[in-house]
Amino acid sequence: MLTDDQKARLGAKYDVQLRGAKAVQEKRRVEVEKIKNTARSEIQLPIGYEFKIAGIMLYWAEGNKTERVGITNSDAELVKFMMRWFREVCHVPEKKFKAYLHIHSGQDEQNMKQFWSSVTGIPLYQFGKSHIKKEGTGHKKNILYNGTIKINICDKNLLYKILGWIESFYTLQPRVLSSTGRASDS
């Protein structure tokens, strides 16, 4: 940022350039908002089968593939989406959810548990011991404001069901793509 003295030396030319830059920035902000609004209108709720597929794809990318059903993430909206998916598509009973936090030392564990409880709908008594990363352990220094939550579901059969859904995508993918005329089996 420039000091007042530097701005004075640059004079009116600086003011014109600054106003121009701000005008361009505002114009782009309006354009981006218009693009987002149009995109939001393209997705109509309720979505049934699409919701199931979206959850399967997110689980494929972000979920546990061994041991138990679970997902770990720091994005509250993604976690909220997956909790809805677990409840509505997978029909997970509330008592089967278990949550764990990964936070850095110095962060308010109770406050973060409250935050994630409100995001997930998981009661605090179903939260397990938090993993607190100590300073100087070589862990990434980017401290996530609300930490990372790990959701576990104790249901091995559900894991196999989700893995079966995922496998159906990579075993059927060539046939599905070739029927659209955009790809082939080779």
Average pLDDT, the chain: 84
Beta bridge partners of 99: 127, 151
C-alpha dist (Å) from residue 50 to 46, 47, 72, 122, 172: 9, 6, 22, 25, 17
The pair of structure tokens assigned to 67 is 């041991």
Record: fold of 49-177: 60s Ribosomal Protein L30; Chain: A; (3.30.1330)
Nearest in space to 147 (alpha carbons), one of 66, 61, 54, 76: 76
Residue with tokens 């976690």: 79
Residue 184: the pLDDT is 45
pLDDT tens digits, one per residue of 82-101: 999 999 999 999 999 999 99
pLDDT of 76 higher than 90: yes
**Domain-by-domain residue ranges, the chain?**
10-42, 49-177
